[in-house]
Amino acid sequence: EVHLVESGGGSVQPGGSLRLSCAASGFIFSNFWMNWVRQAPGKGPEWVAIIKPDASGTHLADSVKGRFTISRDNAKNSLYLQMNSLGGEDTAVYYCVKDIGYKQFDHWGQGTLVTVSS
């Protein structure tokens, strides 16, 4: 059974940084593109970032480009999201999601809440 477990969320002041982690199990992690998707309170989901199976390439949404970095460690079956220069617009639940092609997501973690506030 596929499990995705996010961690690292919390409260941070504007301009601060956080690093999210996702521990994956139940599938061959190194075979799949992986993504981060976020959902602000009361809003719909927003795709944030994607990384290739071998970590050779990434793509980020315009809203986070230059501030966020997605990475992975296939030896540890782990996905990461480094978030810098955080603003209130980044307040959301962040989900680690498994990709089945063309940014379609068949498994989601339980999410980790990031709150940016002074």
Partner 1 sequence: QSALTQPASVSGSPGQSITISCTGTTSDIGAYNHVSWYQQHPDKAPKLVIYDVTNRPSGVSDRFSASKSGNMASLTVSGLQADDEADYYCASYTTTGSLVFGGGTRLTVL
CA distances from 91 to 74, 81, 102, 110 (A): 28, 14, 26, 16
Q: Is 95 in the site for partner 1 (CB under 8 A)?
A: yes
Minimum distance between the CB of residue 69 and partner 1, rounded to whole angstroms? 17
Q: Is 52 in the site for partner 1 (CB under 8 A)?
A: no
Paired tokens of 76: 């540890």
Rule CB under 8 A: which of 53-92 touch partner 1? 59, 61-62
Paired tokens of 91: 């307040």
- Distance between CA atoms of residues 85 and 102, nearest Å: 29
What residue type is 95 in one-letter code? Y
Site string for partner 1, 3-42 (x = CB under 8 A): ----------------------------------------
Minimum distance between the CB of residue 81 and partner 1, rounded to whole angstroms? 16
What residue type is 83 in one-letter code? M
Applying CB under 8 A, which residues contact partner 1? 44-47, 59, 61-62, 95, 100-106, 108-111
